[in-house]
Amino acid sequence: MHREFCRRGAWLLPLALAACDGPQSALDPAGHEAEAVSQLFWWMAGASLVLWVLVVGLSFYASRRREQPWPARRAARLILVCGALLPTLLLAALLVFGLRLMPVLRAPGDGLRVEVEGQQFWWRVRYVLPDGRRFETANEVRLPVGSRTEFLLTAQDVIHSFWIPSLGGKMDMIPGTTNRLVLEPTQTGRFRGACAEFCGASHALMAMSVEVMEPEAFTAWVEREAGAAAASTDEGAALFLARGCGACHTVRGTAAAGRVGPDLTHLGARPTIAAGILPNSPENIDRFIRETQAIKPAARMPSFGMLPPAESAAIATWLGSLR
Amino acid sequence: MVIRIRDKADLWTLLMPPTVWALHFLFCYLVAAVHCAKKGGINLAEPSSGASFAPLAEVRPLVAIGTAVALALIVVSAWQAWRHWGAGTEDPPHDAATPEDRQHFLGLATLLLSGLSFASVIFIALPAFLITDCR
């Protein structure tokens, strides 16, 4: 029985370790703050293991190996040292370590500012460049590697929480308040962010794609993203406006200038749609238009299943082509 | 509260160390809050550099003096409790229904509370010395 359990356990171990990396793991850090937090976590986990072994070992020793009572004086000293002095010193060391970390992690940003507003159930993302230019996007954050980007976080409706585990700790987004968070990615790559505060029916479906890029690639992306989409004047564009999508969504370069829903100007260039839920493809965009409430329950956008399939497909194709 | 050294332990002497701890916490909190509100500010209209945070260097002497006073009061309280306990001449539990045992019990409890309050006061003061500004 025991051996059987061990054999199964051995199978599970690589699986458990494999769960540590990936695009959304605080244990696989790719940012300055995440590295500090993960280092702290491993030190604490290691030290807890040592203490646990020590305590269990002592209780085993006391109950099985040595059954005579200890002299009262020695026992009192053991309790004083191991039960009071040692924990106080350990806590003091942890407190000093944590407090010394804070000024480093909270140093100001290098100039790029990203304002993110949480809404049920997506993220409005506004870039403010060091030269003062601004542009808006949604559900996607791109950052230059090696520089400190300042996030100003707020919420429109209820409390959300902004968390990119691979890059740093989480920060609440509170209506009426602006919170600051500075992240410094140290590796390029694709990551995933998530809402970390329960915010409603589709809380678990509120994610975002994060891409850390080389500075040159980032600058090129900014130049492209700040401009209007290469909006074609095909059937999809006309239908998008005719069916009223522009009342809620903005596509810069067209007459659509709604402020209720996500900006769709460069939707085709984003890796995911529906706030990190579906891979970006015209089929998925079409599905999201027709079955919005099935994919994202309680979202403010109604399902547009009443559109003729050919029309929604044309709109989806056009949106997918906005790069 | 204990203004003078008392020969007998009572509830007031027992409450002394945690009360000092609470007052020290309130003092540090108020000093930092007032200083940060008056000397710093956030201007969100300006990109990035819009936030100006007051350095904590100016509050350090105040926190240091407050902490020294609090620790001194706790040490006096502990010394007094040590005498009430009987300087360790008798071991706990002091649970007999006699005036002596009540004194010993109150003394030991106050002594232990003094230890807790001493460590806590130091923990509360540490951030002022390890964090650079009001951020």
User: What are the sequence ranges of the domains in chain B?
Assistant: 11-130
Would you tell me which residues 86-125 of chain A have a C-beta closer than 8 angstroms to some C-beta of chain B? Answer: 88, 91-92, 95-96, 99-100, 102-103, 106, 108-113
* pLDDT recorded at residue A8: 55
Select from A225, A246, A275 the last residue of a domain. A225
Answer yes or no: is pLDDT of A156 > 80.
yes
A204 and A119: one domain? yes
Residue A82 lies in a domain: no
Number of domains in chain A: 2
Phi-psi region of A105 (alpha: psi -120 to 50; beta: other; left: phi over 0): alpha
Cβ–Cβ under 8 Å, residues A149 and A183 = yes
pLDDT digits (tens, 9 = 90+) for A42-59: 988 998 999 999 999 988
User: Of how many residues is chain A composed?
Assistant: 323
Cβ–Cβ under 8 Å, residues A82 and A74 = no
CA–CA dist A24, A16 (Å, integer): 15
ipTM score of the complex?
0.78
> Quick check: B48 and A106 CB within 8 A?
no
Question: Per-residue pLDDT averaged across A147-159, rounded?
Answer: 92
Which one has a higher pLDDT value, A307 or A7? A307
A219 and A277: one domain? no
CB within 8 Å of A137: residues ≥ 6 apart: A125, A126, A127, A225, A263, A265, A266, A270
Query: Which of B61, B33, B114, B49 has the alpha carbon at shortest distance from A132?
Result: B49
Answer yes or no: is pLDDT of A174 > 90.
yes
* pLDDT recorded at residue A71: 85
Residue A77 lies in a domain: no
Question: Per-residue pLDDT averaged across A295-312, rounded?
Answer: 91
* pLDDT recorded at residue A1: 44
Mutate to test the interface with B, among A97, A180, A183 (most CBs of B within 10 A): A180
Cβ–Cβ under 8 Å, residues A270 and A248 = no
> Quick check: A88 and B49 CB within 8 A?
no
Select from A206, A225, A244 the last residue of a domain. A225
A125 and A192: one domain? yes
> Quick check: A72 and B91 CB within 8 A?
yes
Task: State which residues form the domain around A310.
Answer: 235-320
- Other beta carbons within 10 Å of A87: 12
> Quick check: B131 and A178 CB within 8 A?
no
Q: Which chain A positions have a beta carbon within 8 Å of B51's beta carbon?
A: 108, 180
CA–CA dist A104, A106 (Å, integer): 6
pTM for this one?
0.77
A258 and A153: one domain? no
The gap between the terminal CA atoms of chain A, to the nearest Å, is 59
Answer yes or no: is pLDDT of B49 > 80.
no
* pLDDT recorded at residue A40: 87
Q: Quote the distance between the C-alpha of residue A230 and its chain's center.
A: 30
* B57 pLDDT tier (thresholds 50, 70, 90): confident
A219 and A240: one domain? no
Q: Which of A99, A103, A150 sits opposite B48 (nearest CB)?
A: A150
Lowest mean pLDDT among A2-11, A93-102, A142-151, A259-268: A2-11
* pLDDT recorded at residue A172: 94
The answer to whether residue B49 neighbours chain A at the CB level (below 8 Å) is yes
Residue A145 lies in a domain: yes
Answer yes or no: is pLDDT of A98 > 70.
yes
Is-cis flag, bond preceding A121, omega within 30?
yes
- Other beta carbons within 10 Å of A285: 24
Answer yes or no: is pLDDT of A38 > 80.
yes
For residue B124, give the chain A residue with the closest CA.
A95
Percentage, residues of chain A above pLDDT 90:
46
A162 and A269: one domain? no
Going B45 to B46 to B51 to B54, the CA torsion angle's sign is: negative
* A302 pLDDT tier (thresholds 50, 70, 90): very high
